[in-house]
Amino acid sequence: MNTPTPPFFIARIGDDGTQCDAWPEQPLLQSLEQGGIAWPSSCRNGNCRTCMGVLVEGQVRYAIEWPGLSPEEKAEGCVLPCVAYPLSDIRLQAPAI
């Protein structure tokens, strides 16, 4: 028996309780913006890396084969919300500078 996919997931940002709905059919960045969450962005196609964050919890998928992250960055949990689609509830943090 297949478990139905919920119509949306919850995206939590950092540890302060900020959250929004994250729709599986649109990039995470778009959901963040629709939820009133300011997140840095520029190119919106996975090349500039301005929107890079760290996925602390949850899973995403990419609609493009190479989302502009090195294998090391992927292993560290880095994601590009402009081209990442949520597969579950997520928690995202800005990378340490």
- 83 lies in some domain: yes
Per-residue pLDDT tens over the stretch 36-83: 999 999 999 999 999 999 999 999 999 888 778 999 999 999 999 999
What is d(CA 76, CA 63) in angstroms, rounded to the nearest whole number?
Answer: 20
What is d(CA 40, CA 53) in angstroms, rounded to the nearest whole number?
Answer: 10
How much is the pLDDT for 75? 92
Question: Quick one: which H or E segment has residue 29?
Answer: helix 28-34
The count of other CB atoms within 10 Å of the CB of residue 12 is 19
- 2 lies in some domain: no
How much is the pLDDT for 22? 97
Q: Is the pLDDT of residue 29 over 90?
A: yes
- 55 lies in some domain: yes
Total tally of structural domains belonging to the chain = 1
- 71 lies in some domain: yes
- 3 lies in some domain: no
| pTM: predicted TM-score of the whole model, two decimal places | 0.88
Segments forming the whole domain that contains residue 38: 9-93
- 4 lies in some domain: no
Find the mean pLDDT for residues 13-32: 95
Is 58 strand, coil or helix? coil
Question: Any idea what the CATH number is for the domain that residue 68 is in?
Answer: 3.10.20.30
- 89 lies in some domain: yes
How much is the pLDDT for 66? 78
- 77 lies in some domain: yes
